[in-house]
């Protein structure tokens, strides 16, 4: 009887800790302060932190906030598109990644981003070919 009680309590503790960990791990930081957008630098810091913690969907959301809130900042928008593509690449969602990398190569003028996007498009071709084999 006592052994069953310890097993039951251990299970409850493990489930509670798991729930707390998972709910905290996936929570997206606030993207607005007092109803106003954050700065590009703040969005970028959020996105990098989320990416570093393997929360790629949250990183994508932060980069999308740059695109949405700062459409006239072409350099920031270019790199946000590139980073979204990179997040999708890491998630192995190659078709989505390709859309963003192609947008960087076709619609923006940032030379470094265009080169990196072309390199990533080549890696996507390689990755897709490996999956076929």
Please check whether residue 97 is in contact with residue 85, taking contact to mean a CB–CB distance below 8 angstroms: yes
CA distances from 15 to 18, 19, 21, 22 (A): 5, 6, 10, 10
CB atoms within 10 A of CB 27: 10
Q: Domain segments of the chain: what residues?
A: 29-132
Query: Tens of pLDDT along 21-48?
Result: 544 456 788 999 999 999 999 999 999 9
Cα angle for residues 111, 115, 121 (degrees, 5° grid): 145
Please state which CATH number belongs to domain 29-132: 1.25.40.10
Distance from C-alpha of 130 to C-alpha of 47, rounded to nearest angstrom: 29
Q: Is 6 helix (H, G, I), strand (E, B) or coil?
A: helix
Distance from C-alpha of 60 to C-alpha of 65, rounded to nearest angstrom: 9
CB atoms within 10 A of CB 3: 7
Query: Tens of pLDDT along 64-104?
Result: 999 999 999 999 999 999 999 999 999 999 999 999 999 99
């Amino acid at each position: 009887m006592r052994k069953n009680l310890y097993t039951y309590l251990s299970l409850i503790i493990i489930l509670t800790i798991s729930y707390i960990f998972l709910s905290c791990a996936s929570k997206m930081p606030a993207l607005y302060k007092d109803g106003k957008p954050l700065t590009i630098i703040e969005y970028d810091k959020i996105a990098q932190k989320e990416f570093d913690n393997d929360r790629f969907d949250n990183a994508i959301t932060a980069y999308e906030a740059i695109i949405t809130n700062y459409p006239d900042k072409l350099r920031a928008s270019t790199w946000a598109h590139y980073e979204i593509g990179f997040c999708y690449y890491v998630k192995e969602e190659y078709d989505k990644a390709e859309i963003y990398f192609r947008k960087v190569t076709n619609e923006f003028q940032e030379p470094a981003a265009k080169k990196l996007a072309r390199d990533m498009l080549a890696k996507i071709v390689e990755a897709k070919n490996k999956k076929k084999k």
